[in-house]
Amino acid sequence: MGNLRVAGVDVGSVSTDAVILNENKEILSSSVVYSGANSQKAAAEAFRQALAQAGLERSEIAYVISTGYGRKRVDFANESVTEISCHAMGTHFLFPETRTLIDVGGQDSKVIHLDERGRVTSFAMNDKCAAGTGRFLEVMARALEVELEQMGDLFFQAEKELSVSSMCTVFAESEVISLISQGNSQADIVAGIHMSIARRVIGLLGKKGLVERLAFSGGVAKNRGALGAFEALLKTKIMVAEEPQIVGALGAALIALETCEKQLAKTGTIATSPA
Amino acid sequence: MTQDAISSLVRRLDTAGQTKGLMKRYYTDLRNSREEGKVMAWSYGPVPFELMRAMDIRFAHLESYGAYLAARQGQAFLKELAHRSGYSPDICSYARLTQGVHMMAQSGDTSEVRPELLIPQPDFLVAVTSCHLMANTYDFQQRQLQKPGFCIDVPFMNKWADFEEAVAHVKRQLIDFIGFLEEIKGHSFDYDRLKELMAKVKEAAMLRAYCIKMSQTHPAPMTIFDHFICLGPMHVWRGTNESVEFFKQLKAEVEYRVENKIGAIPDEKYRLYWDNLPIWFKVGRLSDKLGSLGANLIAGVYTHTYFYSHEPEKIDLDDPVGSIARELCWITWAFSNVEARTERIQKLCEDFQIDGLVMHSSRTCQPMDIGQKDMVDAIEKRLGIPGVVIDGDPTDPSYYSDAQTETRLEAFIELLASRRR
């Protein structure tokens, strides 16, 4: 096979990430950039950074798969695959024992059930209500005047859990401001916020429920407080990648590799458009 | 693939295109009711049109009219009028459009609507309680208009053993409704005319059922979106020669496709089931989108269970009123009893060799959504067939997103593809 290299690009609402893999499934490089208003530019920039890191030219990448909401606007991609399949594939690669995956991103959250081969068997999504997404945490961090990065640490300093019950992110912000004015500590409020988001996402588990083992991906998985809230509510140890934000792009790259291997086995060449 | 390329994939039925002309005639007839000296009713829910047609009464189906108007003139002004009258945005979108129609008429200001799209005020109103929201809308409007009204109660049936009692209860009310119509018109009901009408209902329904059954072949000659478009002739037009002729033509076209192995989509890889009402404003786009992924939505509870789809050969022409009562009870049974609906879905999956379920979770029709996740679980346990839930609404685009829905559908097709690896 020689020097087969592939890439995955995940264009999300908050971040755009790229991963370059070789045929041994080794990550040669990865990058994370802010998506901003122009997803095409963000995709190109994420890819450029990943190429530079790996010391490679575009022509040396045999196949690129794009994923995420912006996947159809990535003009240098050979194919697009949904983030549901890509997150499942990426997580399965990192943690093959995963059977339930919780993915919380900037503007949606998902629960995906996978089998022992990393195939998606069912999924449920919340893309209608920001209260179960990273956006919720951003809004709350602003209301509390803390950095998003501090939220995780504050969760573990809580002495009691306050209830943040509003269905709507905007009204929850008012609720938080009210809790601040009542003299509650930042840590206690942060705990309430994280438990609220976790409860909302756990609702997506549905009848299938939690099938061990459980993994957590997406940008919000970087937040130790969110992880703590899920572990407390589900009473289980949850697996998180070192870089949870790039799991989708990693999955896309792995699918790209699988596609190339299949095509090479069948025809000896790699078609640059999907069949 | 470009949108244009996607749009040319699905083979549209020629016969389906005729519904446009039929619906235009239907609304023209409604509009001309006064000039032509015809009594006209506003109706809500699955009303027994046959009984009104037998008395030469014209009838507007308000839900359909609200959606029809919204499609041509936009929704915002109708919804705004409904909201101002106290209707929450979370209420059934059909009901809001219907209420908007009424409030517009009440205001006397119809300047937002082209005159040729308006319909006259009714001489009476009639509703069926199968849909509570529409029955409540009927109640409000009937009180405001102060015109005679009649409401037919179709009860919820907990178990199949309750069915015959429900039929008797509905039949009694239909006979009372006939008395009501006789008072309105000032002459007795023409039972012979009703028998003639029902014979046409039966003939058209059997032709339609045949066309539905033809999709059990591979590749299927129709998509469920074709069935949605072809509902008009079995809905407001049923009991007419036009309805029978329409389904004769549809049968011929479908038979031709089956004989020549012409599928509705060129490369049918996945056969899917659709739950709930259609998302009317996305029927074409979703059909094309799924077609581009090799997926054909072949069967659905709405089109394959209601509209006399179920055993039309058993319509008893010697008891037309009883037959209508049975149909009304069947609709409520199959729609509101979760176990019955699950059984129905299972049968459709088995008969049509379905690979996956697409459950349209309608934002504002909660009665249709109840139990959908349980149905998916039950079918997966019984038949090993997976399902996906998509969020939408029959007529309100503010509860729909192309990108979000299409991501879920694409992910579902990826899931189905991976099961075959």
Which residues are CB-neighbours of B88 under 8 A, at least 6 positions away? none
Residue B44 β-bridge partners: B127
How far apart are the CA of B418 and the nearest CA of chain A, in angstroms?
A: 6
Which residue's entry shows tokens 């979106």? B225
Q: Is any Cβ of chain B less than 8 angstroms from the Cβ of A81? A: yes
The side-by-side arrangement of strands in the sheet containing B58-61 is B58-61, B40-44, B124-128, B149-152
Please check whether the two domains, A5-87+245-267 and A97-240, share a CATH topology: yes
B415:A119 CB<8 A: yes
- Rounded mean pLDDT, A135-156: 87
Q: Is the pLDDT of residue B405 over 70?
A: yes
Nearest CA in chain B to A123: B388
Q: Which of B374, B404, B418 is nearest residue A120 as measured by Cβ atoms?
A: B418
Give yes or no for residue B149 having a pLDDT over 70. Answer: yes
Whether ipTM exceeds 0.90: no
Express each pLDDT in A20-44 by its tens digit: 999 999 999 999 999 999 999 999 9
Among A127-136, B163-172, B261-270, B295-304, the range scoring the smallest mean pLDDT is A127-136
Neighbours of B216 (CB within 10 A): 14
What is the homologous superfamily of the domain A5-87+245-267 according to CATH?
ATPase, nucleotide binding domain (3.30.420.40)
At A113, the pLDDT band (50, 70, 90 cuts) reads very high
Residue A24 DSSP label: T
Residues B199-212 have a mean pLDDT of 98
B265 to chain A, minimum CA–CA distance in Å? 17
Q: What residues of B are in contact with residue A123 (Cβ under 8 Å)? A: 388, 411, 415
Q: Are strands B149-152 and A15-22 parallel, antiparallel or unpaired?
A: unpaired
A119 touches chain B (CB under 8 A): yes
**B402 — contact with chain A (CB < 8 Å)?**
no
From B389's Cα to the closest Cα of chain A, the distance in A is 8
Domains recognised in chain B with CATH numbers: 3-17+215-420 (3.40.50.11900), 18-192 (3.40.50.11890)
Task: Please give the pLDDT value at position B8.
Answer: 61
Average pLDDT, stretch B160-188? 97
B135, B140, B144, B147: CA torsion to nearest 10: 20
Please report which confidence band the pLDDT of residue B3 belongs to, taking 50, 70 and 90 as the band edges.
low
Instruction: Give me the pLDDT at residue A275, please.
Output: 46
Interface of B with A in 366-395 (CB under 8 A): 373-374, 377, 380, 386-389, 391
| Span A226-247, average pLDDT | 94
> pLDDT, tens digit, for every residue of B212-247?
999 999 999 999 889 999 999 999 999 999 999 999
pLDDT at B256: 96
Task: Measure B9 CA to nearest chain A CA, in Å.
Answer: 16
Percentage of chain A exceeding pLDDT 70? 98
From the candidate CATH numbers 1.10.10.10, 1.50.10.10, 3.90.1150.10, 3.30.420.40, the one assigned to the domain spanning A97-240? 3.30.420.40
- Tell me what pLDDT residue B7 has: 59
- Per-residue pLDDT at B67: 86
Contacts of B390 (CB under 8 A, 6+ apart): B358, B359, B360, B361, B405, B408, B409
pLDDT of the residue at B328: 97
Rounded mean pLDDT of B362-385?
A: 91
> Quick one: what percent of chain B has pLDDT higher than 90?
79
pLDDT in tens, B16-71: 989 999 999 999 999 999 999 999 999 999 999 999 999 999 999 998 998 888 88
Using the predicted structure, report yes or no on whether residue B349 has a pLDDT greater than 90: yes
Give the mean model confidence (pLDDT) for residues A182-187. 92
Residue pLDDT, tens place only, B107-126: 989 888 888 889 999 999 99
Q: How many CB atoms lie within 10 A of CB B99?
A: 27
A151-162 average pLDDT score: 89
**Per-residue DSSP letter, B39:** -
The reported pTM is 0.91
Contact B419 A119 (CB under 8 A): yes
pLDDT of residue B258: 96
Q: Residue B132 pLDDT > 90, yes or no?
A: no
Domain boundaries, chain A: 5-87+245-267, 97-240
A123–B377 C-beta distance less than 8 A: no
Mean pLDDT, rounded, for B93-106: 91
pLDDT > 60? residue A1: no
